[in-house]
């Protein structure tokens, strides 16, 4: 849940800036793409809160596996060019 909230904040901050070369030129991520990642991350954070509150361990693990893909795709989109900029 904390990771989803951190990615949501990071994506929201990314939507407010121009972005680096890889994010904007290679991956064609504009501010609306960052906002979509922020919304998806907030939805997953809510999902994790509900599954934790209800004790749905299996559903939480499945959600975590799906969210891991989303987080890796988002992180890979702008972290690849971070050392170059």
Give the pLDDT of residue 17. Answer: 67
pLDDT tens, 16-55? 766 666 666 666 677 787 788 888 988 999 999 999 999 9
Answer whether 38's CB lies under 8 Å from 11's CB. Answer: yes
Residue 26 host element (H or E) = none
Query: How many domains, in total, are found in the chain?
Result: 1
Residue 80 is part of which domain span? 2-84
- How many residues are recorded in the chain? 85
Assess whether pLDDT exceeds 90 at residue 63: yes
């Amino acid at each position: 849940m904390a990771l989803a909230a951190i990615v949501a904040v990071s994506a929201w901050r990314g939507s407010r800036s121009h972005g680096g070369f890889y994010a904007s030129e290679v991956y064609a991520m504009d501010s609306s793409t960052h906002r979509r990642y922020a919304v998806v991350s907030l939805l997953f954070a809510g999902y994790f809160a509900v599954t934790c509150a209800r004790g749905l361990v299996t559903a939480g693990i499945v959600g975590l596996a799906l969210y891991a893909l989303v987080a890796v795709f988002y992180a890979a989109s702008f972290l690849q060019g971070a050392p170059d900029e």
